[in-house]
Amino acid sequence: MGAGPFEELKSELESMFERIAKKENILGNITRLTQLQQEIGSSASPQLRHYLENRSYKKALDFLHQGYSTEHSDQPDGRLK
């Protein structure tokens, strides 16, 4: 079984920031982040959706590192496993 969309989102964000640090092109990362944002849709918490819609990618990554992903992020099943 592959990584879920939230894990893939986190991985893509990490990859993008690594590429930025190396001064490499991030167009592919941005394209994939847009696709993932559409795939995740309403299953993401309102806060994560806000970060992604506003392209606050550092905040989105920090949010994902906390382990929250779903609408009910205050519930145990809202944590990434």
pTM above 0.85, yes or no: no
pLDDT of residue 14: 97
Residue pLDDT, tens place only, 17-76: 999 999 999 999 999 999 999 999 989 999 999 999 999 999 999 999 997 544 444 433
Q: Collect all residues with Cβ–Cβ distance below 8 Å to 56 and sequence separation of at least 6.
A: 50
| DSSP-assigned states of every residue in 1-27 | ----HHHHHHHHHHHHHHHHHTT---H
User: In the structure, what pLDDT confidence band is assigned to residue 4 with cuts at 50, 70 and 90?
Assistant: confident
In this structure, is the dihedral angle defined by the CA atoms of residues 58, 63, 64 and 69, taken in order, positive or negative? negative
pLDDT score of 42: 86
Mean pLDDT of 7-22: 97
